[in-house]
Chains A and B, each alone.
Chain A
Amino acid sequence: MTASSTSSCAPALLSMRELTVKYGPLGEGLPALCNVTVEFRSGEITGILGESGSGKTTLAMAMLGLLPTHAQVTGSLRFHDRELLRLRERDWKQVRGAKIAMIFQEPGLAMSPVMRVGDQIAEVIRAHTSLSRLARRQRVRELLEDVGLPQVDRVFKSYPHQLSGGELSRTAIVQALACEPELLIADEATRSLDVTRRAEILDLFRQANRRTGCAIVFITHDPALLAGFAHRIVVFYRGRVIQDGLTQQVFRQPAHPFTKGLLALVPNSISGKMNPDRRLPEVIDPKSQYADCFNYGN
């Protein structure tokens, strides 16, 4: 195991020990997640850095109990000292949305195309509270205003296909934060947005973190997004944690060639100086000799 995280006074909100997820009837093939031990603390923004196939989506699904039935999960996943892996479906319903919420990669696809956006958010509130219909609609309107949507009434009545990408992202954030969860998982929440919109959405996350104190797990493949945003970074590679530490630490001392390669891609020549050999630095090729080696640094 590589660099350990620094101690923090904040209590552990969600912790997983030796979490392993395998697919396949006999568990053959590479596991999607292998012996993952990570802790998420309340009030902290943790960045999960990994590419497709690194197991980050499996991690998010495991935290919400949404893994397919044929997945074999071993290890421990505790939320406030409550073991989640053996939770029954009806107990999961109380956790999902209310305590742990998720924002999916494509917000346009994460909403029903035939239901008005306001109604969909109200349904989430209805599933977890006993507010009256009027109170629910009022709450949705307040939340939409809070995220800075200019035309709240129009957005409330719209269908997902009538909203722009930025509006959809904000609506997805509202839907996830509607019941004030303690942990928010954002799975590539800015991937489908233009670069010019990304900073605004990251701001919204920061706001939510500061105001409600909810912990955020921000999953991304782009290390540059985590700068100035995440307190800690956990780097995933092929189902394992290869580094876990404070943001500055990971940036200054990347432990694995994969991390090094990824960090080298962050632009440093847009200021007008051309890359001398006009090639981008190559990130580790899975077929290379380093691909199967997980232990690096200390």
Chain B
Amino acid sequence: MRYLERRMLHASFLLIAVSILCFAFSALAPGNFFDEMKLNPQISPATVAALRSQYGIDQPLPVRYGRWVKSLFSGEWGYSFAYNCPVKNLLLLRARNTLLLTAIATLMSWILAIPIGVWTASRRGRWEDRFTQAGTVFLLSTPELVLALLLLQWIVRTHALPAGGMLSVNFEELTFKSKLIDLLKHLMAPATVLVLASLPLLVRHVRASMIEVLQAPFIQAARAHGIGKATLLFRFALPAAANPLTSLLGFSVAGLLSGSLLVEVISGWPGLGPLLVEASMNRDVYVVVGAVMASTVFMIVGSIVADLLLLIVDPRVRTS
């Protein structure tokens, strides 16, 4: 397990570096959380100064960093000025919401991308392939923002789905089954946008990888042995094409926390995205650092997952 140990070591260095950078950049930007209060004539400057020293913002940067690291070990992960609670509670809740959305969207993307990619690769050059290619180009070039807004427009017009948020107002009163349906209804719009945004890239990669594999001599040899088309595509070609797709899967995992920020903000999904935007604008420093660190952890996990998957999927890497 020397490999994993090494990766863990690299990961810890990376995390430390990211946290220091994040802290430094936040501190370099002018202003702090309490500056907003200064504009309010009802709060005296003395109160503001007292609050500042209470929260330790007037301390030098290394001291603040040290206190933040200490709070990591004590389980608080910093303190949110705006919400007046430890960052951990906020982060866990919001991250859970985000993961719910992105996990389902990523799963759907992959489940759709693989058959579509395989099928278009086997029908290369024919109209099904060209049509799908045109579709992927269109989706790739449309910004996520535009897709989200278009979908939102349609929802508002037709009232088919809730226009935003994660749960209805009367969520607590519903039965378990209704709760599930309510959640799914709210989830459908942002998830659709996420799927539409990530599907074309996956389809193109699956298709490209499959096309390369379909030209290999062993596919022709398998045909010569009388192996049927479906078996040829899914049992022979797809596993051989999986190699470059594992790094894509790693990216998908890496982006689980960070890839949905825009969509969450537009559709009002109470995830990490809106929290991060809000905290950045409020100068709620510890929340920002906490959210960035959480994303970084996922990125690291994602890349390790990609490497491990390659080992599992490709026997040549495993046993050569």
Contacts and interface: CB of A to CB of B under 8 A. Distances in A.
Interface of A: 64, 66, 92-98, 101-102, 104, 106, 109-115, 123-124, 126-128, 159, 161-162, 175-176, 179
A165 B223 CA distance: 23
A93 B315 CA distance: 29
Contacts of B222: 112, 123
A61 B215 CA distance: 16
B319 A101 contact: no
Contact of A104 (B217, B227, B314, B315): B217
B231 interface: yes
9 contacts: A66-B224, A93-B228, A98-B226, A109-B216, A110-B217, A114-B315, A124-B227, A128-B226, A175-B225
A97 B236 contact: no
| Secondary structure dominating the interface of B | helix
B56 interface: no
A60 to B, nearest CB: 9
| Secondary structure dominating the interface of A | mixed
A94 B228 CA distance: 10
Instruction: Give the top 9 A-B pairs by smallest Cβ distance, nearest first.
Output: A97-B226, A110-B221, A96-B226, A97-B225, A124-B225, A109-B217, A114-B239, A159-B315, A102-B224
Contact of A123 (B227, B239, B319): B227
Given A112-B236, A161-B316, A104 B221 contact: yes
Interface in B218-246: 218, 220-228, 231, 235-236, 239-240, 242
A94 B225 CA distance: 9
A96 B240 CA distance: 23
B305 to A, nearest CB: 19
Given A102-B225, A114-B314, 6 more contacts: A97-B226, A104-B221, A114-B242, A114-B316, A123-B235, A127-B228
Interface of B: 216-218, 220-228, 231, 235-236, 239-240, 242, 313-316, 319-320
Contacts of B242: 114
A280 B228 CA distance: 48
Contacts of B320: 161
Contacts of B315: 113-114, 159
A182 to B, nearest CB: 14
A263 B104 CA distance: 69
Nearest to B224: A102
A123 B78 CA distance: 58
B239 A101 contact: no
B226 A94 contact: yes
Contacts of B221: 102, 104, 110-111
Given A159-B315, A159-B319, A161-B316, A110 B218 contact: yes
Given A112-B240, A114-B316, A66 B223 contact: yes
B319 A96 contact: no
Contact of B218 (A66, A112, A126): A112
Contacts of B225: 96-97, 101-102, 124, 127, 175-176
Given A66-B220, A96-B223, A104-B217, A113 B316 contact: yes
A161 B318 CA distance: 11
B231 A123 contact: yes
Contacts of A114: 239-240, 242, 313-316
Contacts of B217: 104, 106, 109-110
A126 B232 CA distance: 12
A98 B221 CA distance: 14
A113 B314 CA distance: 9
A162 B225 CA distance: 22
Given A113-B218, A114-B316, A95 B239 contact: no
